[in-house]
Amino acid sequence: MIASMMHSADSLGLTSLAQRRIELKYTVDARLASEVQQWAREHLEADEHCSPQSLDSYEVSTLYFDSPALDIYHRTPQSDISKRRIRRYGAESTLWLEVKSKKQNVVKKRRSAIAAEQLQPLAVATQESRLESEGEEWDWFAQLLIEKQLQPMVLVHYRRFARARCADGESLRLTIDTHMQASTCREWNVHHRGASPAYDLGDTQILELKFNNNMPFLFKQLLQAFPILSANFSKYRTAVGKCEIASAPLLGRDTDA
């Protein structure tokens, strides 16, 4: 199952120089994406996150959090810009609590797994700004949301093509995200695609190259073989724009003040 295999090096909060995790992002159109996928099938192995039935891909649903004033979206001094989100792979019953930051392409990520039925106790603890128990898998995540007064904002769906390989003792991974959709979401519900109306985030497809420390020779070959352009694309920021959340009255604020 997908959920049982997500503790890969790609998912860890790696901080030391020897373990730096790099993520490079590019935009590609449908034709170029198809060519890159074929190249990946020839040079990389099947990704462990994909089930045999799904071939090279799997569905992802991500619930993003922000403050009523959208401090993360606006990158205000009150926010440390790290993304807080809850992710579901396909229709799995396991959910993943994540905090991810990225600076100069170096990624730091912390994540914990919880069962879907633990989502509502987490929501109640966060909304009421209290943690009654200790040792819960979600305590650290709830505390972060309480400190920043964060709440559910948008739910993003996409399909991820993924191939991977271990070269010279380091893991490398190539992903392409397609069929991106977003919907406004004020509830603690990480449902799968199709459960509610959604906005398309456009035809752009997002290619990501993920590796430790230095660019692998294999990825250098890829970038030389295809006209791939680097991009600064954020699913969360694009979703907020499409859902017109930033133009709406600030949540929980007196707009006459």
Read off the pLDDT band of 253 (50, 70, 90).
very low
Q: Is the pLDDT of residue 3 over 70?
A: no
Q: Is 122 helix (H, G, I), strand (E, B) or coil?
A: helix
Please give the residue that has the higher pLDDT: either 12 or 215: 215
Helix (DSSP H) and strand (DSSP E) numbers for the chain: 6, 11
pLDDT of 80 above 50: yes
Q: Which amino acid is at 252?
A: G
pLDDT score, position 190: 94
Average pLDDT over residues 231-256: 72
Q: Which has more pLDDT, 188 or 54?
A: 188
Task: With cut-offs at 50, 70 and 90, classify the pLDDT of residue 153.
Answer: very high
Looking at residue 9, its pLDDT comes to 34
- Indicate if the pLDDT at residue 252 is higher than 70: no
For the chain, list the domains and their CATH numbers: 10-242 (3.20.100.30)
**Taking 90 as the threshold, does the pLDDT of residue 14 lie above it?**
no
Q: Is the pLDDT of residue 251 over 90?
A: no
Average pLDDT for residues 40-51, to the nearest whole number?
A: 88
pLDDT of residue 217 exceeding 70: yes
Q: Angle CA(86)–CA(178)–CA(109) in degrees, nearest 5?
A: 35
Q: Give the contacts of 197 (CB within 8 A, at least 6 positions apart).
A: 183
3-class SS shares of the chain: helix, strand, coil, % to 5: 25, 35, 40
In this prediction the pTM is 0.86
Q: Tell me: pLDDT of 4 over 70.
A: no
Secondary structure element (H or E) that encloses residue 83, with its range = strand 83-89
Q: What is the mean pLDDT of residues 57-85?
A: 90
